[in-house]
Amino acid sequence: MSRASWRERIEAARAERAAAARTRVRRTVSHRDGARCQVDGRSLLNFCGNDYLGLSQHFAVINALQDAAAREGGGGVASHLVCGHHALHDALERELADWLGYPRALLFGSGFLANLAVGQALLDDESLCVQDRLNHASLIDAARLAGCRLRRYPHADPEGALRQLRSLPESVAMLATDGVFSMDGDVAPLRELALVARVQKALLYVDDAHGVGVLGADGRGSVAAARLGVEEVPLQLATLGKALGGYGAAVLGDEALIGHLAETARPYLYTTALPPAQAAATLAAVKLARSEHWRRDKLRELTGRFRERARQAGLKLLDSQTPIQPVLCGDDSRALAMAQSLEQAGYWVAAIRPPTVPEGSARLRVTLSALHGVGDVDGLVAALAKARDRADLGVAVTA
C-alpha cells in the first residue's frame, strides 16, 4: 500500500480554493504615511486596517519606542519568568489595569496567544466552554485545543447561551464572547450575558480586541460601556495592536486568575517576552488613548457620516455603530471584483470571504480611523457605489 502524498493533498486543496474564489494573496506595504500606504508601487488610502485611533505613527509613540530601544535593545531576551520581565513590561501592565479597572494585567505576544493561554490554563476535558457562533477563531481554537466540551450558541443570543450552559450543569463552565465582533462590527449583549453567567455560575470571558480604546468612557471598551466590571466580567482581553497601534495583548482579571495564568499558561511560560521598547511605545499609546477623547469623537462622527452616505447610496450594511462597517456583497467573486474596483480608484478595502465569515456573506470590511477625513469617507462611499454598479453590470476591471 502506498502512502498518500502531502503534495497532492495540498495541490488539491489549493485548486478547490481557487475554484471557489477563495485564494489568499499577501500584499506588501513599502511605506505608510498616515492613512495612506504604498502598495505595489501605488498610493492607496487604507480603509482595512485596525489603527482606529491613529496612534501607530504618533510622534510620542515612536519617540518612546526609539528611546527605549536605544537604552534597552531591540529584543525581549527571554520569557517573563526567566529573565525577560522588564520594568517597562511591569509599568505597562499596571497602566492597563488602572485604565480598564482591573486588579492585574498580564502581557502576551498576541491576542491569539492570550486566548490560547486562557483556554489551556482554565479548561480541561471535564470543562464546558460556551461561545458565540461568530467568535474570533482564536477563541474557538483555544477551546478545541484545551480538549473541553465546546458548545456554540446563535450569534448575540443570551437565551441560546443559557440553554448551552444548562446542557451540562455539573461542569466547570466558561462563557466566552467577543466584545465587538471583528467581521460584523456589532457589540455583544454583555449585560444579558453577564446575568446568564452569574445564574449559571460560569466565568464570563470577554475578548475586547476591537472595543478597547474605541468604546466606553475614556475608551475603556465594551465591558465598561455596558457598565460592567471585574465582578461581572472576571476576565477580559485587550489587544495592543489595534486601537493602541502597537503589538501584543494583555489579559486582565483579579489576582487569583491572573496569578494562575502567570504560573500555568504555556503560551506565557514558554515564549519570549515582548521587546521592552514595544512596551514603552504601547505605554505612551495608552496614555494618549486615555486622554485624547477627540479621537473617539471623530471616529463616531466619521462612522455616522459613512453610514448615512452609504444608506443614501443604497449600499447594504450591517447594524454596526463601531468603526467596523461591513458592506455586504454576498458572492465571493463579487466581493473580489468590488475590492479590485476600489483599488483602481485608490482605496484599499479587503474582501472578506468564507470561512472567515459564514457562507453567502462575503463582504468588504471597511474600517474607519481617526486618521481619515470627511472627504476621505465621502470619496470612499462614491467609489463603493461605483464598484457595486460595475459588479452589477459584470464590467471587468483592468489593471
Nearest to 239 by CA among 136, 103, 336, 377: 136
Instruction: Give the phi and the psi of residue 83 in degrees, each rounded to 5.
Output: -145, 20
* DSSP output for 44-61: EEE-S---TTS-TT-HHH
The CATH number linked to 193 is 3.40.640.10
2 is a domain residue: no
256 and 330 both lie in a single domain: no
104 and 33 both lie in a single domain: no
DSSP state letter for 275 = P
The reply, when asked if residue 86 is annotated as ligand binding, is no
Q: Which of 89, 242, 298, 372 is catalytic?
A: 242
C-alpha neighbours within 13 Å on the C-beta side of residue 58 = 26
Q: Output the CA torsion 136→138→139→141 (10° steps).
A: 120
Residue 398: per-residue pLDDT: 53
175 and 143 both lie in a single domain: yes
272 and 360 both lie in a single domain: no
246 and 129 both lie in a single domain: yes
The reply, when asked if residue 239 is annotated as ligand binding, is yes
Q: Verify whether residue 361 is a known catalytic residue.
A: no
376 and 304 both lie in a single domain: yes
Q: Verify whether residue 182 is a known catalytic residue.
A: yes
Q: Which of 138, 182, 222, 320 is catalytic?
A: 182
Residue 397: per-residue pLDDT: 59
d(CA 111, CA 212): 13
Q: String of b and e for 7-27 (b: at least 16 CB within 10 Å)?
A: eeeeeeeeeeeeeebbeeeee
The CATH number linked to 388 is 3.90.1150.10
Q: Which of 291, 316, 341 is the last residue of a domain?
A: 291
8 is a domain residue: no
For the entire predicted model, the pTM comes to 0.94
7 is a domain residue: no
Nearest to 258 by CA among 94, 138, 135: 94
The reply, when asked if residue 264 is annotated as ligand binding, is no
The reply, when asked if residue 136 is annotated as ligand binding, is yes
Q: Which of 250, 270, 291 is the last residue of a domain?
A: 291
197 is a domain residue: yes
Could you list the residue range(s) of the whole structural domain that residue 159 is in?
A: 59-291
3 is a domain residue: no
Q: Verify whether residue 89 is a known catalytic residue.
A: no
d(CA 274, CA 135): 26
Residue 393: per-residue pLDDT: 81
The reply, when asked if residue 182 is annotated as ligand binding, is yes
d(CA 160, CA 36): 43
285 and 302 both lie in a single domain: no
Q: Which of 263, 291, 319 is the last residue of a domain?
A: 291
4 is a domain residue: no
Residue 394: per-residue pLDDT: 72
d(CA 272, CA 83): 10
Q: How far is CA 146 from CA 34, 55, 115, 116, 193, in A?
A: 41, 35, 11, 8, 23
Residue 121: per-residue pLDDT: 98
1 is a domain residue: no
d(CA 231, CA 95): 20
* DSSP output for 69-89: HHHH-SS--S-IIIII--HHH
The reply, when asked if residue 356 is annotated as ligand binding, is yes
112 and 254 both lie in a single domain: yes
Contact between 323 and 53 (Cβ < 8 Å):
no
Q: Which of 86, 89, 210, 298 is catalytic?
A: 210
Residue 396: per-residue pLDDT: 60
74 and 47 both lie in a single domain: no
130 and 258 both lie in a single domain: yes
Contacts of 370 (CB under 8 A, 6+ apart): 52, 53, 54, 295, 298, 299, 302
- Residue ranges of alpha helices (H) inside the chain are 6-19, 59-72, 87-100, 111-122, 137-146, 158-166, 190-200, 222-225, 255-264, 266-269, 276-291, 294-312, 332-344, 374-393
The reply, when asked if residue 47 is annotated as ligand binding, is no
267 is a domain residue: yes
231 and 334 both lie in a single domain: no
Q: How many domains does the chain have?
A: 2
Q: How far apart are the first and last CA of the chain?
A: 49
d(CA 138, CA 155): 17
d(CA 330, CA 326): 11
Residue-by-residue pLDDT tens, the chain, 399 positions: 788 899 999 999 999 988 888 888 888 999 999 999 999 889 999 999 999 999 999 999 999 999 999 999 999 999 999 999 999 999 999 999 999 999 999 999 999 999 999 999 999 999 999 999 999 999 999 999 999 999 999 999 999 999 999 999 999 999 999 999 999 999 999 999 999 999 999 999 999 999 999 999 999 999 999 999 999 999 999 999 999 999 999 999 999 999 999 999 999 999 999 999 999 999 999 999 999 999 999 999 999 999 999 999 999 999 999 999 999 998 899 999 999 999 999 999 999 999 999 999 999 999 999 999 999 999 999 999 999 999 988 766 555
> Would you state the cell numbers that stand for residue 210, as one nine-digit string?
476591537
244 and 389 both lie in a single domain: no
